């Protein structure tokens, strides 16, 4: 099986990155993580790239030409698929155009509800009955691309932001790999 060279973008802890790396080590999993990009030099997730000997780069998104650095590295590592995993920056329209339906993201809510940040506090404030996660294609509008997979759980009265985050992450670790398998089964 020829695996698809994939770049994972992160900004923080990298638990979804770690999960994807572990899945990618399975012979039948369709992607190979060939590059990790972070916009945060202190992102803990970079440690997973180091541990699994995956090339990684830091991108300073405040610099004008940062996208050129991304594209240069995509070419260098022959990247043809992109996973956003806790990447806290908006992807440029130029990148979205160049990689149409080749960029996916995981979001900690049942989209279209609670796009953007602070999803757990907003869920609680709204007295939501269900929480969950959505893996979707990235398009020009924030958290608005077509859904690949959603997984949900029931929110109970004892839940708080931390418990919602834990429940959501548990589902994310299942949903993200399933979404990737689903995408490449089609193609």
At 187 the three-state DSSP class reads coil
Phi, psi of 58 (to 5 degrees): -100, 135
Q: Strands 130-137 and 147-154, how do they pair?
A: antiparallel
Burial of 10 from C-beta contacts in 10 A (0-12 / 13-18 / 19+)? buried
Q: What is the 3-state composition of the chain as percent helix, strand, coil, each rounded to the nearest 5?
A: 35, 25, 40
Terminal-to-terminal C-alpha distance of the chain: 13
Tell me, yes or no, if 107 is annotated catalytic. Answer: yes
Which of 107, 136, 151, 167 is catalytic? The answer is 107
Burial of 134 from C-beta contacts in 10 A (0-12 / 13-18 / 19+)? buried
At 154 the three-state DSSP class reads strand
Q: Where are the beta strands (DSSP E) in 74-124?
A: 81-84, 103-107
Catalytic residues: 107
């Amino acid at each position: 099986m020829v695996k698809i060279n994939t770049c994972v973008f992160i900004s923080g802890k990298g638990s979804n990155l770690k999960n994807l790396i572990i899945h990618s080590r399975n012979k039948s999993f369709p992607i190979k993580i060939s590059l990790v990009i972070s916009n945060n030099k202190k992102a803990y997730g970079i440690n997973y790239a180091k541990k699994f000997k995956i090339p990684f780069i830091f991108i300073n998104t405040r610099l004008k030409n940062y996208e050129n650095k991304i594209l240069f590295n995509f070419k260098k590592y022959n990247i043809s698929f992109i996973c956003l995993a806790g990447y806290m920056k908006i992807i440029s329209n130029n990148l979205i155009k160049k990689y149409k339906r080749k960029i996916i993201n995981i979001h900690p809510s049942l989209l279209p509800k609670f796009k953007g940040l602070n999803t757990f506090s907003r869920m609680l404030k709204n007295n939501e009955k269900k929480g969950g996660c959505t893996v979707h294609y990235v398009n020009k509008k924030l958290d608005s691309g077509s859904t690949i997979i959603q997984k949900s759980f029931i929110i109970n009265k004892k839940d708080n932001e931390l418990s919602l985050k834990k429940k959501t992450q548990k589902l994310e670790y299942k949903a993200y790999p399933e979404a990737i398998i689903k995408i490449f089964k089609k193609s």
